[in-house]
Amino acid sequence: MPTRGHFSEELKDLKADIRTLAEDTKHALQKAITALHNSDVKQAHQIIEEDKRIDKKEEEINERVMILIAKQQPVATDLRRLIIAIKITTDLERMADHAKNISKATIHLGEDHPISIHPSIKEMAEVAFDMVDIANKAYEHEDISFAHKLSEMDDIVDKKYGEMIKELLELTANNPDQIQYLMQMAFSARYIERFADHITNIGEEIFFLIKGRSYDLNE
C-alpha cells in the first residue's frame, strides 16, 4: 500500500461526492428550466425544497475538508486539492441557488401568464448543462485542457444573454403591460448567465490546482 493510502482514499471519496453534487446541481437547473417552460408552479416549489439538501451537502463537504486539513496537514497539491474542494462546493451551492431563483421566477409568473418563454433561455441552459459535464470531467481528470473549453462556452452564454436582454428591452417598450412578466424572464436569463460564470470559476479552480497560480477565465 502506498504511504498515506488512507488519505488518498479520502481525497478520492471527497472528489466523488463533489462530482455527485455537480450532477445534482445540473439536474436542479434542468428541472427549473422545464418548470419555467411548462409554467409548473408545483415543480418549482419542489425544486426550492430540494435546494435545502444541496445546502446541507455543501456544509457536510466543507466540514469534511476542514477535518482533513486539521488531521492530515496537507501541503502543496494535496492542500490545493482541499482548498479547491471548498471553493468548487461553494460555486455548486450558488449554482443550485440560481436554479432555485429561476423556480421563484416561475412561481411569480404563475400558471396563466401571457408570454412565451424566450428560446434563448433554453439555448443558454443547454450550454450550461454541457459546461457542468465538462467541468466535472476536468475536475475528475485534473485536466486544464477541459477547463479552457469552459471559458469559450461561457462566452457563448454571455453573448446569448446580451442579445436576449436587448430584445426584452424592446419588448418592454412596446408591451408595457407585460413588464412584470418580461422582467421575470430577464431575471431567469441572468440566473443562467451567473450559473455559467460559476462553472467558469470551477475551471479557474482546476487551473489553480494544476498550476499553483490563480487564473481569470471570466474576463
- Of the chain, the end-to-end C-alpha distance in Å amounts to 44
How near is the Cβ of 87 to another protein at its closest, in Å?
A: 15
214 forms part of the interface with another protein (CB under 8 A): no
CA distances from 143 to 66, 77, 113, 149, 163 (A): 25, 14, 45, 11, 32
**C-beta separation of 125 from 33 below 8 A:** yes
75 forms part of the interface with another protein (CB under 8 A): yes
78 forms part of the interface with another protein (CB under 8 A): yes
Q: Which stretch binds another protein (CB under 8 A): 2-10, 91-99, 127-135, 172-180?
A: 2-10
Q: Which stretch binds another protein (CB under 8 A): 73-81, 98-106, 108-116, 181-189?
A: 73-81
Size of the site for another protein (CB under 8 A): 14
Contact with another protein (CB under 8 A) among 53, 55, 212, 216: 212
4 forms part of the interface with another protein (CB under 8 A): yes
Give the residue carrying C-alpha cell 471559458: 151
Give the residue carrying C-alpha cell 466543507: 62
**C-beta separation of 134 from 141 below 8 A:** no
80 forms part of the interface with another protein (CB under 8 A): yes
Q: Which stretch binds another protein (CB under 8 A): 15-23, 72-80, 140-148, 159-167?
A: 72-80
How near is the Cβ of 216 to another protein at its closest, in Å?
A: 18
The Cβ-side half-sphere exposure at 163, using a 13 Å CA radius, reads: 12
Contact with another protein (CB under 8 A) among 16, 60, 63, 77: 77
For residues 1-29, one letter each, b for 16 or more C-beta atoms within 10 angstroms of the residue's C-beta and e for the rest, the string is eeeeeeeeebbeebbebbbebbebbbbbb
Q: Which stretch binds another protein (CB under 8 A): 69-77, 112-120, 169-177, 193-201?
A: 69-77
CA distance 167 to 113: 19
Residue 116 neighbours by CB distance under 10 Å: 8
213 forms part of the interface with another protein (CB under 8 A): yes
6 forms part of the interface with another protein (CB under 8 A): no
CA distance 102 to 138: 27
Shorter beta-carbon distance to another protein: residue 3 or 145:
3
Interface residues toward another protein, by CB under 8 A: 2-4, 7, 73-80, 212-213
